[in-house]
Structure 1
Amino acid sequence: MSAQSAASDKTDPPKSSRTMIWLRSRLSNIAPFITLLFLVVFFSIASPSFATLDNVGNILNQISITAIMAVGLTYVILCAEIDLSVASVANATGIVVAYFTLQDSYANIANVPLPGYAAILLALLTCFLLGGVNAFGVTRIGIPSFIMTLAMLQIGAGICAMLVRGQIAYAVPPFIATLGQKALGPIPYVVIVAATFLLVGHLVLQYTRFGRYVYMVGGNREAAEYSGVNVRLVIASVMIISAACSGVAGMVGVAYFGSAQQNEFDSYLLDAISAVVVGGTSLFGGRGGIGNTIVGLLVLGVLNNGLDHINIDSFLKILIRGLILLAALVINIYAQRLRANQMN
């Protein structure tokens, strides 16, 4: 045996070791996918009505609103920030679009309903404005995103309360009603909207300079600054993107539910964060993406739908979802430590 081959044998780790290193480095991606497969198999065995084409459509329908919100939240978490205001912004935007298309005199400022397109534009302006306030507070004033978006959560709730005052609004512009209630053949428009947001979000992250900047800011903010990246602008942008996605989800969701009322989207905050984290996007930023979010959405969708099919107690269902989220957080932290150890 030559000296070169002997040296190579000493330096190259065994194939089994390389496999283990590879698995550990991708733990946060592999674990959610295995979880999804396990849930699908388990519920397919437990309930004959689960593994049907109609039920697949139901699952996609049920996760669509969450998916739209989760796209923007993925960008925020990739930058190692958080947005706790997504559900509140969605609720406020949905109420604004319904508020200004109602016929009742209490529901519009000038006692004259706005045209549908004007109500939509006003609602979009609202969510962009709320996102802009978040961005300004985080990047210019220096408020931590956790605190800033927590305050925005309350501001959004206040806007909702001020507009509807405990009442329920029902009317929405025809275009929004179409997106939330109708279908293109067998596929509901709400699923198409969610798929479009996920696709565009993925393409932007993977194939644009802005997407690379998002990963750079989340991976190493100081290095990104030294590389000439405008970190403040990137963080401000993802906060506004998150608010815009939430606003669209709020408008489509109002049509999907058939009404706009206070606290309608409150549960979607945990759902959206869970989808991103359960899918494997790192809470420390820089790792993950829309593909991970899709897996996380499917895990939550299959879990919620499957538990309904086996008629489990609703309170136990909440507990199980919490345990799944906790497990995802543990895997997220553990995967981060493994990567840190491999780098050292």
Structure 2
Amino acid sequence: MAAQVPQGQLAAPSGGIGSWLAARLTNIAPLITLLFLIAVFSALSPSFATVDNLGNILRQVSITAIIATGLTFVILTAEIDLSVAAVANAAGIVVAFFTLQESYVNIANVPLPGWLAILCGLAACFALGVANAFGVTVIGIPSFIMTLAMLQIGAGICAMLVRGQIAYAVPPLIKTLGSGTIGPFPWIVVIAALFLLVGHLVLTYTRFGRYVYMVGGNREAAEYAGVNVKRVLAAVMIISAVCSGIAGMLGVAYFGSAQQNEFDEFLLDSIAAVVVGGTSLFGGRGGIGNTILGLFVLGVLNNGLDHIDIDSFLKILIRGLILLLALVINVYAQKLRQRA
């Protein structure tokens, strides 16, 4: 068997500067974009390049970071999960619902204890992840279609539970982790950093992480090497759902309420964070480091646009153009690697 290249990396280029650029284009482009955005917004707004605003950016991307951590696993296997925002919303509403409402499974007819409400939220996102995994690996439904259907199912769960109302109660632990601080640092930023760290360690130093890269890089070769491809795909779908669910529960405390469609914008943001950072849509290349870079690009972009006087509708257009540019670079880099 030929020697394998370390996961997420390319073999040393042998075709000069062109091959070197082709190998690193998806890493160089987002870094240049980030530096350019920082320079532009710093020049246009004196309040942008401050320590306090850096803290604002970290808080603003923390929920997206938790969702994007799980989504990175999925995209590395050349799959997609369009249900992440709906799963986050459903888990957040479930934990608020069972904290606030009278539960049919509670004989005393009172709200469930906080820890049990949290378990209900975790069970909900885990179950939705298992449903995604079953549809993709057992039935054989393409992940795009399966998770698109799950997006609707998650939205239906949210609508059924809240019925247009807003829930405000969450367990004390969720409230602390979602909106509290540990010294000068918000808990939600610390948790997001821990998720990213654990995701990086798993992808870089574990056998499962190597399998994720192998499945995304060459699924047929992975099968010949003895990797249980379906099991890996099922695992990443569940990981994505659980990360989304935890982000949703913490997000309810962060936003101060649980309501329908609260997390809709996080679908685009989380996918953009992974792709803009340089993780390949074709699987097998990238990782959590790229996702962190993408998170900073999006965080700086969104925050910087709020610091300058610009039409709110134009902000949406600019974000869309940035994502389109990242997709073009992603596809172009893949073609360059194939030629190299």
Shift in Å, 1:16 = 12
- The corresponding residue for 1:170 is 168
Equivalent-residue separation in structure 1 for 2:158 and 2:33 (angstroms): 37
- The corresponding residue for 1:121 is 119
Deviations 1:238-281 (A, max 9, x none): 00000000000000000000000000000000000000000000
Determine which of 57, 68, 76 is the counterpart of 1:59. 57
Shift in Å, 1:19 = 2.6
8 A Cα contact 1:71 1:198, kept in partner:
yes
8 A Cα contact 1:71 1:242, kept in partner:
yes
8 A Cα contact 1:100 1:108, kept in partner:
no
Equivalent-residue separation in structure 2 for 1:241 and 1:312 (angstroms): 38
Identity rate of aligned residues, in percent?
Answer: 77
8 A Cα contact 1:180 1:255, kept in partner:
yes
- The corresponding residue for 1:307 is 305
Determine which of 269, 274, 277 is the counterpart of 2:275. 277
Determine which of 258, 261, 274 is the counterpart of 1:260. 258
User: After the TM superposition, which segments of 4 or more aligned residues of structure 1 sit over 3 Å from their partners?
Assistant: 107-111
Equivalent-residue separation in structure 2 for 1:318 and 1:210 (angstroms): 38
Deviations 1:128-164 (A, max 9, x none): 0000000000000000000000000000000000101
Determine which of 175, 180, 183 is the counterpart of 1:182. 180
- The corresponding residue for 1:131 is 129
Equivalent-residue separation in structure 2 for 1:308 and 1:338 (angstroms): 36
Q: Aligned runs of 1:42-121 on 2, under 5 Å? A: 42-102=40-100, 104-105=101-102, 110=106, 111-121=109-119
Equivalent-residue separation in structure 1 for 2:17 and 2:79 (angstroms): 32
- The corresponding residue for 1:223 is 221
Number of matched residues? Answer: 326
8 A Cα contact 1:84 1:149, kept in partner:
yes
- The corresponding residue for 1:319 is 317
Equivalent-residue separation in structure 1 for 2:280 and 2:155 (angstroms): 29
- Please identify the structure whose Cα radius of gyration is greater: 1
Deviations 1:53-106 (A, max 9, x none): 00000000000000000000000000000000000000000000000001x54x
- The corresponding residue for 2:143 is 145
8 A Cα contact 1:86 1:246, kept in partner:
yes
Equivalent-residue separation in structure 2 for 1:76 and 1:311 (angstroms): 37
Deviations 1:271-298 (A, max 9, x none): 0000000000000000000000000000
Equivalent-residue separation in structure 2 for 1:134 and 1:313 (angstroms): 39
Three-state SS of the structure 1 residue aligned to 2:81 is: coil
8 A Cα contact 1:99 1:108, kept in partner:
no
Equivalent-residue separation in structure 1 for 2:304 and 2:193 (angstroms): 22
Three-state SS of the structure 2 residue aligned to 1:252 is: helix
- Structure 2 gap segments, 5+ residues each: 1-12
Shift in Å, 1:20 = 3.0
Deviations 1:25-56 (A, max 9, x none): 11011100110000011111110000000000
C-alpha spacing 1:119/1:315, structure 2 compared with 1 (3 Å): same
Equivalent-residue separation in structure 2 for 1:301 and 1:127 (angstroms): 26
Letter in 2 for 1:177: K
- The corresponding residue for 1:294 is 292
Equivalent-residue separation in structure 1 for 2:276 and 2:15 (angstroms): 27
Three-state SS of the structure 1 residue aligned to 2:233 is: helix
- The corresponding residue for 2:3 is none
Shift in Å, 1:311 = 2.3
Equivalent-residue separation in structure 2 for 1:297 and 1:198 (angstroms): 11
Three-state SS of the structure 1 residue aligned to 2:99 is: coil
Equivalent-residue separation in structure 2 for 1:109 and 1:151 (angstroms): 28
Three-state SS of the structure 2 residue aligned to 1:26 is: helix
